[in-house]
Structure 1
Amino acid sequence: MIDMAVVELSRLQFALTALYHFLFVPLTLGLSFILVITESVYVITDRPIWRDVTRFWGKLFGINFVLGVATGLTMEFEFGTNWAYYSHYVGDIFGAPLAIEGLMAFFLEATFVGLMFFGWDRLSKRGHLLTTIMVAVGSNLSALWILIANGWMQHPVGAVFNPETMRMEVSNFKDVLFNPVAQAKFVHTVSAGYVCAAVFVLGVSCYYLLRGRHIEMAKRSFTVAAAFGLASSLSVVVLGDESGYALTDNQQMKLAAMEGMWETEKAPAGLTLFGIPSNTAHETAYEIKVPYVLGLIATRSLSGEVAGIVPLVERADYRIRQGVIAYDAVEKLKVNRGDLTAREAWERHKNDLGYALLLKRFVADPRQADDATIARAAWSTVPNVPALFFMFRVMAGLGFFFIVFFATAFAFSVRRRFDRKWFLRLAVIAMPAPWIAIEVGWAVAEFGRQPWAVDGVLPTFLGASSLTTTQIWATIFGFTALYSVLAVIEVKLMLATIRKGPEIYESYDGEPAPKRAPANTFTAIPAE
């Protein structure tokens, strides 16, 4: 029988490392393009202040980039240490995008990031701008390939199960690459990263404006962040809508759970603004709905239906029963590959094999499951509805808040009104908000996929390695201690750099120029 304690602890460890790593990724993605914008202005205008602006945000980008790389490496090793059977079962597909990410995107990014930091006085203006562009492209290409891998877990296309090798194998890499779920996740995720960086830059700029320091740099950074953030926040909401549309065909259970929709409603379904869903009562109490909105978002029509949780459980029950036939065929083919009857049964029911594997949580041989066990397995396909319901609303609510926030900032920047202290304070206070939205959004994506490691193909509980709870607890405590130290280092370096402010190499707009620092050296950050 499956040791669920090992499975849940392995999930906890991976969740902790993933969520921690994802604190750095969005800021890296967004800051890289903000650097491209500010340096492009410098190249076009030839004004020294824009070079100093770029170098200042570049320092913060560098600190964040290093921590992002350090925390991301451990996650790839965890696929082997904690998820060995997952790696064996689907490694042919899942490993390919990760390998391409390392060879294409990470090496590109890592190579040019050195030129970006040390090439200011050795490259031409346009040459250095090109290196900054390549760093931004590399960063976002890394996100693309990682999200292609994750998108395949959400919607496994371009792969088939081979009963001779007992593994999933690539059948069409083009389908893996252009997976609609992966593409929707990529544009939505990187846009959220751009929002994160814009809030960060805007918040730091407002901190300087409140303190009366580096005024000219802060005003310019404020303006860039306001425009970039407004465009990004609008795209997050629009692309989030596209992600919802992708769920309609590919992850209906996740969509139904996010909406707390237990029964299929008459089309077009209404959008629930508030409610209290219950996993035990199978209902959502105190619902406040906006008519028609969910149906329009999810189906792009007035006639398309959004399936409810209970009908989807009934569909899962049917697929489990069909999957048992496929499982039986596989077992017979393992004994006799020439069994034509088993081969024919396999070809008819192979798409449902993963559903039969859900039974292995309750019985050793799925063919021995009775009706009650099958019903239990069918209901196990329902994720934690209350958690998904409320987390999704936190993410969506913050998304609309950012639109209003950046629209206000953009209006102030256009009118050159940088003296609204209430907004400056709000911008500083709001700095953690995008990280909350991003982490909650990532939790929605991963909670909503449960109980699947690969949707409809491999249940999560089958993917874990043969470890003991003691071993996993030891690594959890080890990672927690290490990451806590790294977090302290990250925060101290970022705060010290912000307190110190930008290096001013030439006088502009009334600000004095201090003694010029030696070329191609890092100025020591004073201890705080």
Structure 2
Amino acid sequence: MELDIVSLSRLQFALTALYHFLFVPLTLGLSVLLAIMETVYVMTGRLIWRQMTKFWGTLFGINFVLGVATGIVMEFQFGMNWSYYSHYVGDIFGAPLAIEGLMAFFLEATFVGLFFFGWDRLSKVGHLIATYAVAAGSNFSALWILIANGWMQNPVGSQFNPQTMRMEVADFYEVLFNSVAQAKFVHTVSAGYVAASFFVLGVSAWYMLKGRHIELAKRSMTVAASFGLAASLSVVVLGDESGYLSSEHQKMKLAAIEAMWETEPAPAAFTLFGIPDQAARETRYAIRIPWVMGLIGTRTLTEEIPGIKEQVDLAKLRIEQGIQAFDALQKIRAAGSTTAIPEDVRNAFEENGTRLGYALLLKRYVDDPRTATPEQIEKAAWDTVPMVAPLFWTFRIMVGLGMLFILLSATFFALSSLRKLDRYPWLLKVAVAFIILPWIAIECGWFVAEYGRQPWIIEGVLPTAAAVSDLGVTTVLLTIIGFVAIYTTLLIIELKLMLRAIRKGPEPDDEPEAQLAPAQLVAAE
């Protein structure tokens, strides 16, 4: 990677986002699992379920604090490293972030305190309401963040104002109910539920292997396996919906994920294996499954999925239209007032204004897009193609892990139903070893989503290179080193606190049922 300001700013945001999202999935999933466990406690009065809620709540609390600390920095970066982006789309992008802080984060933070300190101060039902509020706040927080992110992927409900040189809200309802944002939200939270389920499964399996807190471990595994199986299945279904929406709004991303250089007759085949060659613009040693990609991407047998080369040709046409929009924009700004704008100029901008972002791709090669040569337009058009090989393989790692999660959660669900969770120690060891895998899948998913829409920071509207702040390379490089050092330290601290809490287990005074003799325990059941 070249040490230029754009690449370094992208790297900094990518690293802080990846670190932050190590904590978010567990917060999303554990908050719901806590609500489920406490609901059983309130309904049955069994103290073992209170013990479970408090124990897993301790781990939730450790993770929650680190998630908040790393998330705040990300929002500051929009002003620090991406100042022109903040200026250009602040009227739209800022609204969901503000609502997230006011509605979701405050709700979550307030009721987290009641969850931890309200056990002896609130009634059972009152405390349960607080727990559900924590879960709701966590998920609402993700909703508003993903509405903002979804708008970057599919910028609906907005329009460019040539007088202010900014994007402005035209229809907030459309921004709010953006189909891409809604699909990303349900897919992301379901992935968080899978991560939390496998975390609970793994920790509980470790207790069973050690012969400690067996009753807590078995019940926790039963809840986690059931919840994890449902979440794993939903991730696949909702991921399919995200892929389908990509075929509508981000065709280049979909073609790059499939390493589909040429448009194939419908329905397109799915490339199970291959080695994409960006330089030669082909995929070598491809193993294809007929029809599958066409069915997934279009849900029809007749609709084509355009290949990369065809979309590059379309990008060249859009760049030429963008140049016309850029020319009209300069004339509008030179006119000074709306009454002085010639009718033909106004019409030219209205006709081509949505392609203005494509003209900005030429800024990499020429100061004034109107002076671009055909060769520069060709280069800018090929810039719309992300690196294919990383997307191709990352997507397949994510999908492969998703299938594995369904298999493993279904296995533990069946063993739980048959009351044979302790029958196969090797499976318990697998559950412990696989704790980390959901996080790998989630980080792969974010890589596909964000890297796949390059070179756009806002799809088709604003190139990433045009959105960056005017900072020195040394400044950004030093902040990257600082962030990595601090975040790595925070991650190590969290892991140590988590491991200490897990080794310690539930508080002894929260285990009244564990103090009973075996005969009494059977009677209590």
Equivalent residue letter for 1:339: I
Which residue of 455, 458, 474 maps to 1:451? 455
2:215 is aligned with 1:211: no
Q: How many Å separate the matches in 2 of 1:506 and 1:269?
A: 58
Equivalent residue letter for 1:400: M
Number of residue pairs the alignment of both structures matches: 511
Aligned to 1:339: 341
Residue by residue over 1:212-251, the C-alpha shift from the partner in whole angstroms, topping out at 9 and shown as x without a partner, is: 0000000000100000000000000000000011001100
Which residue of 433, 437, 440 maps to 1:429? 433
User: How do residues 377-392 of structure 1 correspond to structure 2 at under 5 angstroms?
Assistant: 377-392=380-395
Residue by residue over 1:233-289, the C-alpha shift from the partner in whole angstroms, topping out at 9 and shown as x without a partner, is: 000000000001100110000000000001111001111111111111111111111
Q: 2:3–2:473: 8 Å Cα contact kept in structure 1?
A: no
Q: Cα distance, 1:367 vs. partner?
A: 0.1
Residue by residue over 1:62-106, the C-alpha shift from the partner in whole angstroms, topping out at 9 and shown as x without a partner, is: 000000000000001100110000100111111110000000000
Q: How many Å separate the matches in 1 of 2:347 and 2:311?
A: 27
User: How do residues 334-373 of structure 1 correspond to structure 2 at under 5 angstroms?
Assistant: 334-336=333-335, 337=337, 338-340=340-342, 341-373=344-376
Q: How many Å separate the matches in 1 of 2:512 and 2:382?
A: 68
User: How do residues 437-476 of structure 1 correspond to structure 2 at under 5 angstroms?
Assistant: 437-476=441-480
Aligned to 2:131: 132
Q: How many Å separate the matches in 2 of 1:371 and 1:111?
A: 59
User: How do residues 44-59 of structure 1 correspond to structure 2 at under 5 angstroms?
Assistant: 44-59=43-58
User: How do residues 45-124 of structure 1 correspond to structure 2 at under 5 angstroms?
Assistant: 45-124=44-123
User: How do residues 40-439 of structure 1 correspond to structure 2 at under 5 angstroms?
Assistant: 40-336=39-335, 337=337, 338-340=340-342, 341-419=344-422, 420-439=424-443
Q: How many Å separate the matches in 2 of 1:63 and 1:477?
A: 25
Q: How many Å separate the matches in 1 of 2:359 and 2:172?
A: 26
Aligned to 2:484: 480
Q: How many Å separate the matches in 2 of 1:403 and 1:476?
A: 37
Q: 1:281 to 1:188 in 2, by over 3 A?
A: same
Aligned to 2:521: none
2:491 is aligned with 1:495: no
SS in 1 for 2:126: helix
Which residue of 498, 506, 512 maps to 1:507? 512
Q: Cα distance, 1:507 vs. partner?
A: 2.5
Residue by residue over 1:116-148, the C-alpha shift from the partner in whole angstroms, topping out at 9 and shown as x without a partner, is: 100001111111000000000000000000000
Residue by residue over 1:482-520, the C-alpha shift from the partner in whole angstroms, topping out at 9 and shown as x without a partner, is: 11221121011000000000124242256589xxxxxxx
Q: How many Å separate the matches in 1 of 2:484 and 2:102?
A: 29
Task: Pick which of 328-337 and 191-200 moved more.
Answer: 328-337
SS in 2 for 1:430: helix
Q: How many Å separate the matches in 1 of 2:287 and 2:485?
A: 44
Equivalent residue letter for 2:72: L
Q: How many Å separate the matches in 2 of 1:418 and 1:268?
A: 44
Q: 2:412–2:421: 8 Å Cα contact kept in structure 1?
A: no
Q: Cα distance, 1:60 vs. partner?
A: 0.2
Q: Cα distance, 1:192 vs. partner?
A: 0.2
Q: Cα distance, 1:339 vs. partner?
A: 2.1
Task: Pick which of 317-326 and 296-305 moved more.
Answer: 296-305
Task: Pick which of 257-266 and 471-480 moved more.
Answer: 471-480
Q: How many Å separate the matches in 1 of 2:201 and 2:354?
A: 50
SS in 2 for 1:432: helix
Instruction: Provide TM-score, normalisation by structure 2.
Output: 0.96
SS in 1 for 2:366: coil
Q: 1:216 to 1:186 in 2, by over 3 A?
A: same
Provide structure 1 residue ranges, at least 5 long, that are not aligned to the other structure.
Answer: 514-528
Equivalent residue letter for 1:479: F
Q: 1:4–1:461: 8 Å Cα contact kept in structure 2?
A: no
Provide structure 2 residue ranges, at least 5 long, that are not aligned to the other structure.
Answer: 519-525
Q: 1:265–1:306: 8 Å Cα contact kept in structure 2?
A: yes
Identity of aligned residues (%): 65
Equivalent residue letter for 2:461: V
Q: How many Å separate the matches in 2 of 1:462 and 1:506?
A: 59
Q: How many Å separate the matches in 1 of 2:174 and 2:270?
A: 32
Q: How many Å separate the matches in 2 of 1:90 and 1:365?
A: 23
Q: How many Å separate the matches in 2 of 1:482 and 1:302?
A: 51
Q: 2:246–2:253: 8 Å Cα contact kept in structure 1?
A: yes
CA RMSD across the alignment: 1.2
Q: How many Å separate the matches in 1 of 2:298 and 2:103?
A: 36
Q: 2:395–2:444: 8 Å Cα contact kept in structure 1?
A: yes
Question: Structure 1 residue runs of 4+, over 3 Å off?
Answer: 509-513
Q: 1:10–1:464: 8 Å Cα contact kept in structure 2?
A: yes
Q: 1:323–1:350: 8 Å Cα contact kept in structure 2?
A: yes
SS in 2 for 1:289: strand
Equivalent residue letter for 1:205: S
